[in-house]
Amino acid sequence: MSGSAQSVRLNLTSSVQYVLRIADTCLIHAQRLSEWCGHGPVLEEDIALTNMALDLIGQARALLTRAGQLEGQGLDEDQLAFLRDERQFFNLTLVEQPMRRSSAHSPGGDFADTTLRNFLLASWLKQVWQGLLSSSDAQLAAIAAKALKEVRYHQQHAGDWVVRLGDGSEESARRMSAALERAWPYSAEMFVADVVDGAAAEQGLGAARSSLRGAWLADVLAVLDKAGLKAPADTPFLSSGTQGVHSEHLGFILAEMQSLQRQHPGGHW
Amino acid sequence: MSDEKGNVTNEWPLWEVFVRPKAGLDHKHCGSLHAADAAMAVQMAREVYTRRQEGTSVWVVRSMDITASDPGEKDMYFDPMEDKVYRHPTFYELPEAVNHM
């Protein structure tokens, strides 16, 4: 075994941060989805959730590799995933939130939260990837072409569940509605304009987040409407994961995700 | 959820899954799964049976809609064909041109 468990420090440019925002959102969302592995409500959905988590890990790996190349210190995907500290992760805060109630003592939602979050995110990532199709960075464009097929399926699969549960029994409708109330305030962060996005749009790297809301909302409202759900009112709350300032949950995820690489630096199997 | 006799059950109905490996080939039965309706069955078939690029097309049908021969009547149904070799087209002389038939 070789290497070092020392945390890596990034030379953060706006391009690197732009790519890491998408990479980390995919990675942390995958980590949360994978908590369902072996616990799905039915065997078939258990496999479906795991398949989607694996798609997202694949996307995160490709993006982390590219981010490492753009960053310039020669960091690889593993170093970026396992040796970065919390403040250098730039995922949406939404994906950190507990997704599955694993015990009476553990916070978190239920299957409605999972499937709703997956739908909101897939609808967002679809717009992000679409913007990256024409990226000035040929590698990002190639990653986007593959990822877009995957995320279109995630959106359909998760959207189907939103409709089934929202338009299902009284109990399932109540839970889906509660999940929507919980997730909605975090969706504001998906569309914040800032210098990182401005620079990315200017360089032709990818779309600015602020330009994605219209198309996202059209997709989301179409499904909510079929599900008999109403979009909650927007609130002033604005999460800040994409600035590197996270909720209390990310630290726990990273502790679990990174512990092996930290204890056995450079270990692979 | 209720079954064909109107009994309430907690199980989703069973579906048989047929996958076509590539264009031009037949759909082949590859297994079964539980799903609430046909649309979900197609999605779950994609998840469960085409994860390793096994397919380009999926069919599903409710298991209860399949009528099967009776296993107890296997002797009567299938054994009589055992000695009827003349039903195999192995006695024709083929012209050279169709050598690879």
Give A60→chain B minimum CA distance, Å.
Answer: 19
Amino acid at B90: T
pLDDT value at A55 more than 90: yes
Q: How far apart are CA A217 and CA A93, in angstroms?
A: 19
The confidence score (pLDDT) of residue B81 equals: 87
Q: In the predicted model, is pLDDT for residue A232 greater than 90? A: yes
E-only strand ranges, B12-83? 14-20, 28-34, 57-62
CB-based contact B49:B17 (threshold 8 Å): yes
Cross-chain residue pair A44–B34, CB shorter than 8 Å: yes
CA A92, A98, A99 angle in degrees (round to 5)? Answer: 95
Work out the average pLDDT over A244-256. 96
**Looking at residue A3, what is its pLDDT?**
46
Q: What is the pLDDT, as a whole number, of residue B11?
A: 85
**A32 to chain B, closest Cα gap in Å:** 19
Of A66, A11, A24, the closest CA to residue A242 belongs to A24
Q: Is the minimum CB–CB distance between B25 and chain A shorter than 8 Å?
A: no
Residue B101: the pLDDT is 60
Model pLDDT for residues A137-168, shown as the tens digit of each residue: 999 999 999 999 999 999 999 999 999 999 99
Residue A106: its pLDDT value, please? 60
pLDDT tops 90 at residue B32: yes
pLDDT in tens, A107-120: 667 899 999 999 99
Which of A44, A160, A164 is nearest residue B47 as measured by Cβ atoms?
A44
Which of B12, B35, B48 is closest, CB to CB, to A47? Answer: B48
Q: What is the pLDDT of residue A1?
A: 41
Does the distance separating the beta carbons of A160 and B47 come in below 8 Å? no
pLDDT number for residue A107: 65
Which pLDDT does position B83 carry in this prediction?
Answer: 87
User: If interface means Cβ-Cβ distance under 8 Å, which residues of chain A face chain B?
Assistant: 42-45, 47-48, 51, 153, 156-157, 160, 164
Alpha carbon A242 to chain centroid distance? 11
Give the Cβ contact number of residue B55 at 10 Å: 20
Rounded Cα gap, residues A64 and A58, in angstroms: 10
Chain A residues within an 8 Å CB radius of B39 = 160
Q: Who wins on pLDDT, B94 or A201?
A: A201
Q: Higher-confidence residue: A187 or A39?
A: A187
Q: How far apart are CA A227 and CA A13, in angstroms?
A: 42
| pTM, to two decimals | 0.89
B51 to A47: CB separation less than 8 angstroms, yes or no? yes
Residues A160, B39: C-beta atoms closer than 8 Å: yes
The answer to whether residue A87 scores a pLDDT higher than 90 is: yes
Contact between A93 and A244 (Cβ < 8 Å): no
- Measured CA distances, A61 to A27, A32, A91, A164, B83 (Å): 8, 16, 14, 32, 61
The minimal CB distance from A51 to the residues B39, B40, B51 is found for: B51
Residue B95: predicted pLDDT: 82
Instruction: Give the pLDDT of residue B44.
Output: 96
Q: Do A43 and B12 touch (CB under 8 A)?
A: no
Shortest alpha-carbon distance between residue A221 and chain B (Å): 21
Q: Is the predicted pLDDT of residue B8 greater than 80, yes or no?
A: no
Partner-chain contact B34 A43, CB within 8 Å:
yes
- Please answer whether residues A137 and A41 qualify as being in contact, where contact means their C-beta atoms are separated by less than 8 angstroms: no
**Confidence at residue A242, expressed as pLDDT on a 0 to 100 scale:** 98
| Digit-coded pLDDT (tens) for B60-76 | 999 999 999 999 999 99
Task: Report, as an integer, the average pLDDT of B74-81.
Answer: 90
Whether pLDDT at A237 is above 50? yes
**Any idea how long chain A is?**
269
Indicate whether this complex's ipTM tops 0.90: no
Ranges of beta strands (E only) in B6-86 are 14-20, 28-34, 57-62
A 10 A CB-CB count for B85 gives 9
Does A157 contact B43 at a Cβ distance shorter than 8 Å?
Answer: yes
Residues of chain B in contact with residue A51, where contact means CB-CB under 8 angstroms, are 47, 51
